[in-house]
Amino acid sequence: MKRIAVVGGRGFVGGELLRLLVHHPEVEVAAVTSDTQAGRAVETAHPPLRGSGLRYRRRSELEPVDLVFLAGVHGSTAEILDDMAALAPRIVDLTADFRIEDPALMERYYGWSRDGEHARAFVRGLPELHRKQIVDATRVAVPGCMATSAILSLAPLAARGLLQDVQVDARTGSSGSGASGGDANSHALRSGVLRVFAPFDHRHEAEVAEALGVDVSMTVTATPQVRGVQTLAKVSVGDVGERELLAMYREDYGPEPFVRLVNSARGTFRYPDPKVLLGSNFCDVGIVADHRGRALVMGSLDNLVKGAAGGAVQCMNLMLGLPETAGLTFPGLHPV
């Protein structure tokens, strides 16, 4: 059994990591940290983990492990990276600290920049696009949830030079803001809303642009759901028809265990919808085209699983030489 530590296990992403890891057939959770909750049972923050026996400890109490997940607040990884590297030969980072390689992009979108050498040491944590690099990597940075949906849904077009100027319309549930989301995320102010909170320049916009190599504009809307992300992108595809476009997606994603092409002629859920993905590690993608050379590209996922903890565990499996799907085969809940 591989020994795993989770640093920053109090938030929603940390809780999802633990939910997946405690039932993983090939690993054991050696430690979970939260300096403010040290000594307390993990189940006080994450009730589904009742009976796990896990307790928080201080980060200073960590012992060597095979791999460490860093799930603290954005900006925390850079401060502790050297200490963590001394304890674990492999690191999977779920913060934003090293998601973007270009220091200028990082400065523009986050207001800080990281050492370029450190940033280049991290592989982008999307197995569907970077599997070979992840297998050999010692450091992986998991993309943001909306970035993951947008990148995976648009990547087949980008790979064939069919993307130029891209506009992404992203919708996200309240858990995307974390366990400490502030007053705007309280039930009284979030319930029933369709709130455009980032008309332009959302931070995930930079990740999509860098990953796809095209100019991207992203608008983000807060929805009443707790979990779930959906991204829509309108693109020009010229004289490429829908049948040919679908063939491209089948070619790229047909063998993938966690990306599904959804474009059905019948049924209630004809296109990607996060409602049927809750708790799962799937990203559903779809594309439809009209007679004017335009296409709508769709992506959906659970922001806490494929958009964070599940994607991280998928990377862990590859880094440790385990079956890629281990611990990640839960199909989602329906109805919810």
Give the tokens for residue 12.
């929603």
Q: How far, in Å, CA of 273 to CA of 226, rounded?
A: 14
Q: How far, in Å, CA of 225 to CA of 233, rounded?
A: 21
Q: At what angle do helices 203-212 and 103-110 cross, to 10 degrees?
A: 160
- What b/e sequence results for 180-197 when a residue is b if at least 16 CB atoms lie within 10 Å of its CB, and e otherwise? eeeeebeeeebeeeeeee
DSSP state of 150: H
57 DSSP β-pair partners? 33
Give the tokens for residue 165.
């100027």
Catalytic residue among 21, 31, 145, 233: 145
Active site residue 145: yes
How far is residue 234 from each of residues 161, 202, 221, 289, measured CA to CA in Å? Answer: 15, 18, 16, 10
DSSP state of 143: P
Q: How far, in Å, CA of 154 to CA of 256, rounded?
A: 15
Catalytic residues: 145
